[in-house]
């Protein structure tokens, strides 16, 4: 099993670039196709902690579900936003690269993955 995990969408160019960047560094990460296997609320809480960001910063505001679920409402709690991402994984920004289950980076731009490489 790899020390690296990427939450990946193969249709996303940034996600493909991040995956290729890892491979160019000799790293073959575990690949999680998060649209097919969405993270649970507990997993998202851990991901957010590793990223050091609030749930709102992981939301893709351009997705239809963002407007449909009224996620721009500033009164929504972290729990509300996490639950929305569980129910609608397209809302999750990508790619997310995690190292050793504790360090993570959002690969936008893909060059940011260098932040968790040694």
- Residues marked as catalytic: 12
CA atoms of 10 and 36, how far apart (whole Å): 11
Distances (CA, A) of 27 to 4, 30, 117: 8, 10, 10
Helices (H), ranges, 1-118? 13-24, 41-51, 64-68, 78-87
CA atoms of 89 and 83, how far apart (whole Å): 10
Give SS3 for 4.
Answer: strand
């Amino acid at each position: 099993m790899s020390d690296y995990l990427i939450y990946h969408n193969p249709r996303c160019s940034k996600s493909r670039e991040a995956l290729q960047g890892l491979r160019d560094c000799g790293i073959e990460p575990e690949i999680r196709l998060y649209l097919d296997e969405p993270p649970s609320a507990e997993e998202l809480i851990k991901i957010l902690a590793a990223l050091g960001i609030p749930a709102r910063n992981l939301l893709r505001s351009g997705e239809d579900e963002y407007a449909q679920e009224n996620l721009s409402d500033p009164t929504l709690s972290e729990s509300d936003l996490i639950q929305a991402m569980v129910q609608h994984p397209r809302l999750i920004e990508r790619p997310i690269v995690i190292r050793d289950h504790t360090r993570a980076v959002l690969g936008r731009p893909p060059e940011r993955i260098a932040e968790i490489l040694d």
